[in-house]
A and B are shown apart, each in its own frame.
Chain A
Amino acid sequence: MAPILEVKGLKKEFKGFALKNISFTLERGYIMGFIGPNGAGKSTTIKLIMNLLKRDGGEIKVFGLDNIKHEKEIKNRIGFVFDENYFYEELTVAEMKRVIAPLYKNWDDGAFNRYLKKFSLPPDKKIKELSKGMKMKFSLAVALSHNAELLIMDEPTSGLDPIIRSELLDILTSVIQDENKGVFFSTHITSDLDKIADYITFINDGRIIFSCPKDDIFEKYALVRGPKEILNTSIRQYFVGIKENRFGFEGLVKDKHQLNKMFKDGIVIDKPSLDDIMLYFTRRVQNV
């Protein structure tokens, strides 16, 4: 079966910023986290997938179909959550639903009402009266209520408290239970991804740094701390980045299996978080 989402050699140029040759693939039944610092190109990539921006080159296939040629069909099968509010502020939750529902072939009122309850969303409140977290929950409810096969979400967890975030993660893992759906979401709250994501795609400055199973990342990279004296030019090569302070250093190594060869003792090896990895990759230029 065709991958649920396939991006190949995607290009987009703006003044002062460009997406260069973005490629990654998501198979059905998995969750992919899309991470990178602000301004790395996450939202641009998502907008290009949703055909909200015109691409300059490359290919985007959703459900094996070109995202521009088959835009309408594809969008019927995608649940989309955007980090900005794109609803009519003056309408109530229930009124807004009546506007959106007819746009989808497979709208499920029962599911929508269940999510309203679950998220404690008052149907008669105006969109503009909802808090940021509530607005996010409303767009989630909409995205989850038309039997979408692919969920695409731009920063869905930002603005949500830890309790709702954990509920959302639970919903996402439920979505992929039937092995037929996929979830693609961007975020910079990487602790959420540390838990549930199957794949991580890391973008920085318009380029993909890596796109691979999350477990591979944690198997390869390690966070090392130790005294500064043991750092020499040949050892520095193994590091993605090094931070030095008055009492020692901390650095990220690409291949932790080489550590034994590099150092005898005197160092501490830790499991990096995705945050650590993101941090060292984006600071790379200044450090090593």
Chain B
Amino acid sequence: MLGNIILTKLFLVYILYINTNMLIYRSDRPGMNIVISNSSQEPIYEQIARQIKNMIMRGELREGDMLPSIRSLAKELQISVITTKRAYQELENDGYIVTVQGKGSFVAAQNKELLREMRLKIVEEKLAEAVDAAKTIELTLEEMQEMLRILYEEV
């Protein structure tokens, strides 16, 4: 009987230990940088949502990762709770995160096809930029392809 109680207690402590560890690891992960500009025309909630989206797209935040609470994020960034709430709302509406009442916000399961699609779009945009730049100095397609081949093999 007594043994049982002790076991249960130990188990609970263990669970607590895992949970706190997860929290610390996941919400304070070193890669989670959010930088906001007060002078930008882009509203602050959009800046936050965009940066978290990018982290999810780049795979720095993975499915099930916990996001900081809206209040702690507001405190750290010295902004209004309403702003961070709205940023999370936006992310939730777009399907990037899910919020569990009383537990917190987590990165949602991402549709792999969709993610690939999004990354393809990024590649396409960057290439279009490169083509633009190339055309201003009249670089030929062949020269560009050669450049791309070298870069591709190098990285």
Q: What is the interface of chain A, defined by CB distance below 8 A to chain B?
A: 29-31, 169-170, 173-174, 176-177, 179, 194-199, 213-215, 218-219, 269, 271
Contacts and interface: CB of A to CB of B under 8 A. Distances in A.
B153 to A, nearest CB: 47
B43 A215 contact: yes
B74 interface: yes
Given A174-B75, A179-B71, A215-B82, 12 more contacts: A29-B71, A177-B75, A195-B78, A196-B74, A196-B80, A197-B80, A213-B82, A214-B82, A215-B45, A215-B83, A215-B86, A271-B41
Contact of B78 (A173, A176, A177, A213): A173
Nearest to A169: B78
Contact of A177 (B72, B79, B83): B72
Contacts of A177: 71-72, 75
11 contacts: A173-B75, A173-B78, A174-B75, A179-B71, A199-B82, A215-B44, A215-B45, A215-B82, A215-B83, A218-B43, A271-B41
Nearest to A213: B82
A214 B43 CA distance: 12
Size range of the chain B interface in the assembly:
10 to 19
Contacts of A179: 71
Contacts of B44: 215
Contacts of B71: 29, 176-177, 179
Contacts of A176: 71, 81
Contacts, number: 47
Nearest to A192: B78
Main secondary structure of the interface of A (DSSP, over half): helix
Interface string B82-124: 1100100000000000000000000000000000000000000
Nearest to B38: A194
A65 to B, nearest CB: 25
B4 interface: no
Contacts of B72: 177
Nearest to A177: B71
Q: Which 6 A-B pairs have the closest CB atoms?
A: A173-B75, A198-B80, A195-B78, A198-B82, A213-B82, A177-B71
Contacts of B75: 170, 173-174, 177
Contacts of A215: 43-45, 80, 82-83, 86
Interface in B126-141: none
Nearest to B39: A271
Given A174-B75, A179-B71, A215-B86, A198 B81 contact: yes
A198 B43 CA distance: 15
Interface string B64-82: 0000000110110011111
